[in-house]
Structure 1
């Protein structure tokens, strides 16, 4: 519901809120410019002294005004001709024209009403209301994605457009809520929908009937600092019954022009102070710095609008369109999906279609939207949960465990958990296991025991579907056809062969960079934007399941490069290692932001073995800023398996690689990369104690050995690999 509330006002009112934000940002500059250019007022200057100085220069002065920025303007008549000027308070003389700024006037009218009168004001108020809805619903979505309000600034992962959208929202949301709320208040005030609340002093009934009392002798003016002045109006010439009208930040008063006495006074009411504060917050008048800050926040709206549209389009492409998806409050079966790359949504669509055909009312949504209080008619909840990285929640399940643990009381709804993963990874279905354990500990009734799907197997899914049908006492056959991702053709331009001695072919394959369309450049899709450490997926002939390979290059390198070793019986590796220059392969790009080197100056300890050198070599190649990088590389044979051996010396000479330590496992004295770490224990401990970051890429057994070695090295210092992982200083890409 929150996502819908956020999406549709944003899409429908995008043009209007963009106009509001851009014009508002432009208007925020004027108070700051006025504040900077306004002549400065000397400390302790009183209204009496200022008025006397101005009256000496302009004997016919009728009014003196001080704007919230501090600029003082005087208005007078000279021989029947009106005049006005910005005043230098030190002399009382005019120093600049008081004519209104035409650009400011134009922008103000455009911002308020689009030059359409009351109809335009109503339209812009609707835009402000849409911005308020977007800001509040967006804040709730950010908190949900981050895993709760306490994790507001938690690190993000996922496509660039989504991360940029959230990063801007985190900073700008307070300003946008403030600007939109104050805009609605001011519109309501304009249309007299709010009480006036102002109180003027009672008209003076007794005045001296005299004129000519010296301004610099009036006690009230002598006690009023110019810093509090808003307006001083002079009596009408020759009218002895008229009075001086003084308006300050404290209130309004009338002064007898013959005696200087204060004959009436009214303090500002609380309502007036609230109204003036709201005016100040919205316009920046009187708070120029705040106005500039709010203006900068408003500039985030167009960027969020563009990225929001891209997120919406990507969501429509990434999730299958589920026909007949019932509202959560009317469905008997709730299917919640935890997915990182989008493939699990396809299984959810297949399950939804089968259950709907069996007469069930079914709702499909993300696990991040888990809300038991909304499931009024639900009899069961089925969780399809993939795992991200080392057992973490995927993007569409962010915050699910917190909501599950916070739900109370537990409703009378059965729950089933189905995990999706790859058995070759050490954290196979770890998140699904964590969900099942948390549900059991919380007391949720179990519909079915935890089950798993390996490598998106349609056969596993069909088997599980039959078991689900038995649990529901219905016939249920799940025929899932994986949707092939959109691929692009990669043309192999060169290959370097390795591993000849082991008769296990390996190669560094370099493909030409596909030409990106303008749309791909704008949206970052396809191969328009990628970094070393991201993944390419290859669909081998004879299999619907893609194989993923870590990239050893970034977009700026101008090519797509991977390191591949042929595995016995491996479909994708066999086909890739058989490629010759000029051959092509169909592939797609998948982001892997959790395994990027980043742009900081923090030293890196890169640890890899075999083909795991791929992304690590990419990090080194891209290290143009000479960040300290220490590489520990394990290989089988130095003369046949030293990937990128030709480049290493050059990278060291260029300052891209600080130190190289190698380990050869098939020599006379087998030496593994974890042994190399132990041999450099003192230096490794020093680097890690000083904040270095560890990045490991390679086989599962190697990664486990590295973890054990680092645990030994760090033990005397009270550090562990687990602590480093929790701090984001230990990341792995293992297979």
Structure 2
């Protein structure tokens, strides 16, 4: 529901919101421009309205009104020879110094922003846009809090694809201004159409006047006692009409003055409601608060960025997430299926389960784990959780906040639970997040529908076996026939290869593929290989297999090619197929982004640690490094004569400053050392770099990564630090296999 509240208004009103916010951003800087670029002299501290009026009358005897703008500029409106005029006044002399008419551009932009050039119908349309913007801002705040695991983590570091992170980061910056602008816009629209009173007790035009004329403003006590700094407007009586009067409006109220006697006929102090109206006008326009206007204008520029990234996210989600047909509302379903997915593949399994349960007679609601609300499950008998594991046992994107809500439930509802974990047994934290969900549910007293199951590398066979067990627990057969959705692939043509490891009987190679061509729209939305960085993953589906294999990229899009390091694994379908390629051959591949495994966007040092083909992305980081950023490489291989990947490049990158140091360890030489030994030998420098905020990036086999973690634990112990603590801060990141 919350996602729909955010998505639907955004898609429908996107263009309208972009027009409103961009025009509003332009208008918001005009008050600041007026302050710094125009010529309005400011009145002296002791100058009264009476003195100002007398000075203006000398130069402009036909003056009809004197106004003071929120920026402090004094404007006189007058008639001269039957022609109206308006000038900016120098209050020291009463002489005009500039034309007071707004520029044609400012008038055009104002009409666009207020009414889209459509008068009242346009004002209602703009109000609808403001209401949509308000709804988007509120729902976006709630969705962001849900994504990061609660309000206390609202400004925590984000993970996931660049488009999603950019969307949220811009929202964090802009949402306060967009909330303020949309609320004040709706208030002003209601005021324009008379839905909100402008003042509690406005003074009524006096019935009894002296019907005398000729009093000079300089002699009127009220005008002598009113400083120009408090003036809003002084309106003169209509010429030759003895029944008309002066009208004075100030910061503290408004009233009427007899034009013959100079006496105040009636006065009303400004009430609270009037001050509220004026404050809202100031907050929306920036008039009287130029700096606020500039800040709001900058925040408004976030709306077009969010509109573009939001549309891109919607398109991406349409491709990645299958449509769940017959999705019963949560309050009416007897079975709740909750999905925790990072890249979208787990949703495909959820769609298969949803369909099978419906065919078996269940009413089913399927949604993200982040939408977990047991108080809504009025008719449910069981909750089934399909949970992938992100990285080192962390929650995937669509499961943010689930464990916190599960752990804080006061009592377990009358629901049984089943948990199915998705992962890859090559990784040390196989299905760790799913196991944590099952553990917390058990500790909180949830009845278990069946023991936790696991699915390795999206295996349809393991999913089907778990389905049989689930059917037995539910009391009826359940056939889960799942065909994984393979991402759209592109042909990658090998242009060069460098072979290594033949002397060590471990054939391996650096394979470089040509960058596929991408159309303009594909580049805009980031489709295919339009945008990628070293550390992202190349997915290859080996012949005769349904599950892709992934290789860390050693190049970025700016390099103009796709490069990976491959080592033959015994019985490995994919590695064997790749190593059999010769230049000119092609293989089908696709891109999966891995935004968390890359150097952070700051100037702090970076420590790269890898072994074997794990040097691939590390070499890509070094290739893309800017000279001046301290980057150290610790690398383990079998033998320098046969396994030293990127040997010549490493020397060149060290010579030009992209690498501050390169330390290699070889396990098949007389010295027989490993990369963790190299770390211990350099413990002083390692400890110093990490204390200075250095980020540690580790890539390679999980046994190597375990040895590296153990060595760093020893090195960091005197400082009270651990790899686990650094991981929690995003200062230590692994990509292991």
Superposition pairs of residues 475-486 of structure 1, within 5 angstroms: 475-486=477-488
- 1:29 is the counterpart of 2:29: yes
Distance 1:342 1:242, change over 3 A: closer
Residues 672-681 or 450-459, more deviating: 450-459
Q: 2: distance between equivalents of 1:684 and 1:564? A: 29
Show the counterpart of 1:555: 557
Q: 2: distance between equivalents of 1:205 and 1:497? A: 102
Q: 1: distance between equivalents of 2:64 and 2:476? A: 90
Show the counterpart of 1:15: 15
Task: Report Cα offsets for 1:201-254 as digits up to 9, x if no partner.
Answer: 355577677655554454433332222211112344555665432211111133
Q: 2: distance between equivalents of 1:715 and 1:159? A: 34
Q: 2: distance between equivalents of 1:477 and 1:493? A: 46
Unaligned runs of 5+ in 2: none
Task: Report Cα offsets for 1:392-429 as digits up to 9, x if no partner.
Answer: 11111112112222334432111111101111101111
Match 1:107 to one of 106, 109, 116:
109
Match 1:378 to one of 377, 380, 390:
380
1:615 Cα offset (Å): 0.5
1:501 Cα offset (Å): 1.4
8 Å Cα contact 1:607/1:697 also seen in 2: yes
Show the counterpart of 2:86: 84
Distance 1:204 1:362, change over 3 A: closer
1:514 Cα offset (Å): 0.9
Superposition pairs of residues 406-445 of structure 1, within 5 angstroms: 406-445=408-447
Residues 587-596 or 93-102, more deviating: 93-102
8 Å Cα contact 1:251/1:266 also seen in 2: yes
Show the counterpart of 2:160: 158
Match 1:529 to one of 531, 553, 558:
531
Distance 1:596 1:52, change over 3 A: same
1:338 Cα offset (Å): 0.6
Superposition pairs of residues 714-733 of structure 1, within 5 angstroms: 714-733=716-735
8 Å Cα contact 2:627/2:656 also seen in 1: no
Q: SS in structure 2 opposite 1:724?
A: helix
Distance 1:466 1:79, change over 3 A: closer
Q: 2: distance between equivalents of 1:244 and 1:689? A: 73
Q: 2: distance between equivalents of 1:227 and 1:441? A: 68
Unaligned runs of 5+ in 1: none
Superposition pairs of residues 32-181 of structure 1, within 5 angstroms: 32-36=32-36, 37-44=38-45, 45-181=47-183
Show the counterpart of 2:648: 646
Residues 16-25 or 576-585, more deviating: 16-25
Superposition pairs of residues 70-469 of structure 1, within 5 angstroms: 70-201=72-203, 203=205, 215-237=217-239, 242-257=244-259, 260-469=262-471
Q: 1: distance between equivalents of 2:634 and 2:18? A: 51
8 Å Cα contact 1:310/1:523 also seen in 2: yes
- 1:599 is the counterpart of 2:601: yes
Q: 2: distance between equivalents of 1:174 and 1:288? A: 17
Task: Report Cα offsets for 1:625-661 as digits up to 9, x if no partner.
Answer: 4310111111111111111111111111111010111
Q: 2: distance between equivalents of 1:296 and 1:566? A: 53
Superposition pairs of residues 484-499 of structure 1, within 5 angstroms: 484-499=486-501
Q: 2: distance between equivalents of 1:441 and 1:334? A: 20
1:688 Cα offset (Å): 1.0
Match 1:541 to one of 537, 543, 555:
543
8 Å Cα contact 2:494/2:581 also seen in 1: yes
8 Å Cα contact 1:385/1:431 also seen in 2: yes
Q: 1: distance between equivalents of 2:321 and 2:23? A: 36
8 Å Cα contact 2:328/2:365 also seen in 1: yes
Task: Report Cα offsets for 1:257-316 as digits up to 9, x if no partner.
Answer: 455444432111111111111222222222222222222222222222221111111111
8 Å Cα contact 2:497/2:509 also seen in 1: yes
Q: SS in structure 2 opposite 1:13?
A: helix
- 1:608 is the counterpart of 2:610: yes
8 Å Cα contact 2:222/2:264 also seen in 1: yes
Point out 4+ residue stretches in structure 1 off by more than 4 angstroms.
202-214, 236-242, 256-261
Residues 38-47 or 67-76, more deviating: 38-47
Residues 273-282 or 697-706, more deviating: 273-282
Task: Report Cα offsets for 1:52-97 as digits up to 9, x if no partner.
Answer: 2212222232211111122211122345543321211221111122
Task: Report Cα offsets for 1:503-524 as digits up to 9, x if no partner.
Answer: 1101111111111121220011
User: Please, what TM-score do these two structures have when normalized by structure 1?
Assistant: 0.97
User: Please, what TM-score do these two structures have when normalized by structure 2?
Assistant: 0.96
Residues 352-361 or 435-444, more deviating: 435-444
Task: Report Cα offsets for 1:508-567 as digits up to 9, x if no partner.
Answer: 111111111212200112111000011101111121111111010000111100111101
Show the counterpart of 2:622: 620
Q: 1: distance between equivalents of 2:389 and 2:268? A: 68
Show the counterpart of 2:508: 506
Match 1:711 to one of 706, 710, 713:
713
Q: 1: distance between equivalents of 2:414 and 2:272? A: 52
Distance 1:671 1:419, change over 3 A: same
Q: SS in structure 2 opposite 1:501?
A: helix
Q: 2: distance between equivalents of 1:575 and 1:347? A: 28
Q: 2: distance between equivalents of 1:292 and 1:452? A: 54
8 Å Cα contact 1:552/1:563 also seen in 2: yes
1:368 Cα offset (Å): 1.1
Q: SS in structure 2 opposite 1:456?
A: coil
8 Å Cα contact 2:43/2:228 also seen in 1: no
Q: SS in structure 2 opposite 1:329?
A: helix
Q: 2: distance between equivalents of 1:247 and 1:316? A: 58
8 Å Cα contact 1:160/1:524 also seen in 2: no
Q: SS in structure 1 opposite 2:503?
A: coil
Show the counterpart of 1:658: 660
Task: Report Cα offsets for 1:456-503 as digits up to 9, x if no partner.
Answer: 111211111111011000011212111222111111111111111111
Show the counterpart of 2:691: 689
1:680 Cα offset (Å): 0.6
Q: SS in structure 1 opposite 2:504?
A: coil
1:119 Cα offset (Å): 2.2
Residues 540-549 or 50-59, more deviating: 50-59
8 Å Cα contact 1:38/1:69 also seen in 2: no
8 Å Cα contact 2:598/2:697 also seen in 1: no
Show the counterpart of 2:582: 580
8 Å Cα contact 1:372/1:407 also seen in 2: no
Q: 1: distance between equivalents of 2:353 and 2:83? A: 84
Q: 2: distance between equivalents of 1:445 and 1:197? A: 62
Cα RMSD for the two superposed structures: 1.8
8 Å Cα contact 1:620/1:657 also seen in 2: yes
Q: SS in structure 2 opposite 1:245?
A: strand
Q: 1: distance between equivalents of 2:77 and 2:525? A: 56
Q: 2: distance between equivalents of 1:490 and 1:628? A: 34
8 Å Cα contact 1:378/1:413 also seen in 2: yes
Q: 1: distance between equivalents of 2:85 and 2:388? A: 75
Q: SS in structure 1 opposite 2:614?
A: helix
Q: 2: distance between equivalents of 1:228 and 1:441? A: 67
8 Å Cα contact 2:411/2:444 also seen in 1: no
